[in-house]
């Protein structure tokens, strides 16, 4: 496929993909420590929290003394993307808290080498209430499931919240979007592939014709 056709194909597919994302903005509380119990304090075994398409609110709290960390994981299913983690509310006796991300289930250790990305939440220059955490923690992030800035695809992701001074209560809205595959899309993509095949055939025919003319010209010169 020529570079031009390949570029057109990727551009059109990207537009189609982005246009397919559907999001239900209605949020539901899927985990509340007051109702469901304390989130895991074990970085190797985070609490699994189920998400569905739409808004999924997780409510928790952390404290510095006695130390109480929150570790939980979420799974983004096939045909879904996580396109926002909004800090919905934040109340603290300090100014900021630590928020870490690991691709996969759990954190290898409790140091910075155990996270794939992190941010400070609660106030400027960190993430303030109403901000999308994915804008911060996916910037420059590369790894399985990372589709680009503020977009995580199918896979398991673990999160770590910790207060370094005082105590904090927070709520996070994990916004999941569905990426449906319309019935007509396979036919559309087949058409694009057909265009690519025709372009290759045309280029091949042109190359063969040019090669044949060169051979005939060389033969005429040889007979002189």
Q: How confident is the model at residue 24 (pLDDT cuts 50, 70, 90)?
A: very low
Q: How confident is the model over 170-193, as a mean pLDDT?
A: 72
Q: How confident is the model at residue 71 (pLDDT cuts 50, 70, 90)?
A: very high
CA 181 to chain centre: 18
Q: What is the pLDDT of residue 14?
A: 46
Contact 16, 187 (CB under 8 A): no
- Widest CA span in the chain: 99
Higher pLDDT, 199 or 9: 199
Quote the CA–CA distance of 28 and 167 in Å, as a whole number.
Answer: 25
Contact 1, 196 (CB under 8 A): yes
Q: Taking each helix axis from N to C terminus, what angle separates 3-20 and 185-223, rounded to the nearest 10 degrees?
A: 180
* pLDDT at residue 213 is higher than 90: no
Name which of 15, 23, 7, 3 is nearest 188 in CA terms.
15
- Mind listing the pLDDT tens digit for each residue in 105-137? 999 999 999 999 999 998 777 789 999 999 999
Quote the CA–CA distance of 208 and 154 in Å, as a whole number.
Answer: 46
Quote the CA–CA distance of 131 and 136 in Å, as a whole number.
Answer: 9
Which residues 6+ apart lie within 8 Å of 107 measured at CB?
43, 44, 46, 71, 100, 114, 115, 158, 160
DSSP 113: G
Which residues 6+ apart lie within 8 Å of 222 measured at CB?
none
Q: What is the pLDDT of residue 41?
A: 97
Strands 47-49, 70-76: pairing is parallel
- Mind listing the pLDDT tens digit for each residue in 28-59? 999 999 999 999 999 999 999 999 999 999 99
């Amino acid at each position: 496929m020529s570079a031009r056709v390949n570029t057109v194909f990727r551009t059109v597919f990207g537009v189609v993909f982005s246009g397919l994302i559907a999001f239900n903005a209605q949020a539901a509380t899927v985990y509340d420590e007051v109702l469901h119990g304390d989130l895991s304090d074990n970085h190797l075994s985070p609490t699994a929290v189920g998400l569905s398409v739409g808004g999924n609110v997780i409510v928790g709290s952390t404290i510095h003394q006695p130390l109480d960390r929150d570790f939980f994981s979420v799974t983004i299913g096939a045909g879904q993307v996580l396109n926002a983690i909004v800090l919905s509310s934040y109340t603290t006796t300090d100014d900021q808290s630590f928020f870490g991300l690991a691709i996969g289930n759990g954190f290898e250790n409790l140091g910075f080498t155990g996270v794939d990305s992190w941010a400070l939440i609660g106030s400027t220059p960190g993430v303030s209430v109403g901000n999308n955490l994915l804008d911060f923690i996916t910037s420059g992030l590369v790894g399985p499931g990372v589709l680009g800035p503020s977009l995580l695809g199918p896979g398991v992701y673990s999160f770590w919240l910790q207060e370094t001074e005082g105590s904090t209560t927070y709520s996070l809205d994990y916004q999941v979007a569905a990426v449906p595959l319309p019935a007509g899309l396979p036919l559309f993509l087949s058409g694009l592939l057909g265009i690519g095949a025709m372009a290759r055939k045309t280029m091949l025919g042109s190359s063969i014709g040019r090669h044949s003319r060169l051979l005939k010209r060389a033969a005429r010169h040889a007979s002189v």
